[in-house]
Amino acid sequence: MARTHEIADGIYVIATDNYRLNTGLIVGGEKAMVIDTGAGPRQGAEIFRAARRVTDLPFVVVNTHAHFDHFFGNAVFAADGTTDVWAHPKALRAMERYADRQRGFVETLEPEMAHTQGPNTEIVLPTRLLPGDGGRASFTRVDLGDRAVTLFYLGLGHTDNDVFVGVDEVLFTGDVVEQGADPAFDDSFPDMWVQTLLTVAGLDRYRVFVPGHGTPVERAFVQRQSETMRDAIDRISASTANPLAGPTTAAMYKLPYDAGVTRILLDRLEWLKSRGLESDDMVAEETPEGLTGPITRGEAL
């Protein structure tokens, strides 16, 4: 059962159980914006019904990034007549190339989507993109009628295509901010994720930050997430650089994340390093090519 909470005037969070997903709903005078549509027709329909209980306005959709639980529900909204689906240019390219490979992730909770069987199981791609080629910070405004929403990209983080959605004092962060669980590092750029979080924490106009999963948080939480991530990266770097420290895996109990998450973080840092990318080589405005992570590629969970 979807739970809908109004967190500011005309701004809602629709929480669904599968993947602990938060979907945003912003109601304007002429249109309403839905932020992330779920992992397939079951969750997408649950989100759609919850949004329709709030408004009968035409929908505009935003996909915050190219992971299955944020865009596999697009077809439900397309069936209702939605044509404007916003995303980052690199998200579109990732979906075009890898979306079908991600179907295997939803075998248990969305079997129809996994096997392309039944209505609303097709991949519906974004039709509207943030400006530029996707390699630098960018933003655009979407007019909902008497209410403008800002979509923006700050740089590398949870993925290379994370879109933020800001309206009034509320910022929908996608999976750049994670509450109630450790961050997912599989497709990430950890050093730059720290910087992106610091940038988000410094956006004074926003008071409420809605993560892709979990409960809404305040600025201090975003700051702490950045500090915790920096600490984990620094400890791993110190361990791998010191031959007397022993295997990095032996020191994982000292790190701020679950051992499995730490293992993923360590592997991702080593993978990026093996391709010649140290933290100093990555600036927030530039996205290295050819570094798509395993979740986007449909290879691991």
Q: Quick one: pLDDT band at residue 18, thresholds 50, 70, 90?
A: very high
Does any domain span residue 235?
yes
Does any domain span residue 241?
yes
In the predicted structure, residue 167 carries a pLDDT above the cut 90: yes
Q: Quick one: pLDDT band at residue 284, thresholds 50, 70, 90?
A: very low
Does any domain span residue 286?
no
Does any domain span residue 14?
yes
Does any domain span residue 291?
no
Q: Which of 122-136, 143-157, 202-216 has the lowest mean pLDDT?
A: 122-136
CATH number reported for the structural domain that contains residue 224 in this entry: 3.60.15.10
> How confident is the prediction for the chain on average, in pLDDT?
92
Q: pLDDT digits over 227-248, tens only? A: 999 999 999 988 765 555 555 5
Q: DSSP readout, 218-271?
A: -HHHHHHHHHHHHHHHHHHHHHHH-GGG--GGGGGGGSSS-HHHHHHHHHHHHH
pLDDT at 250: 45
The span from the CA of 150 to the CA of 293, in Å, is 27
Selected residue with higher pLDDT from 209 and 283:
209
Rounded mean pLDDT of 202-207? 98
Does any domain span residue 259?
yes
Quick one: what percent of the chain has pLDDT higher than 90? 83
Does any domain span residue 56?
yes
Which residues are bridge partners to 24 per DSSP?
Answer: 13, 35
In the predicted structure, residue 276 carries a pLDDT above the cut 90: no
Selected residue with higher pLDDT from 252 and 123:
123
pLDDT at 248: 55
The span from the CA of 58 to the CA of 42, in Å, is 21
| Structural domain total, the chain | 1
Selected residue with higher pLDDT from 239 and 272:
272
* Structural domain range at position 270: 3-281
Selected residue with higher pLDDT from 181 and 284:
181
Does any domain span residue 161?
yes
Q: Evaluate whether 130 touches 88 at the Cβ level (below 8 Å).
A: yes
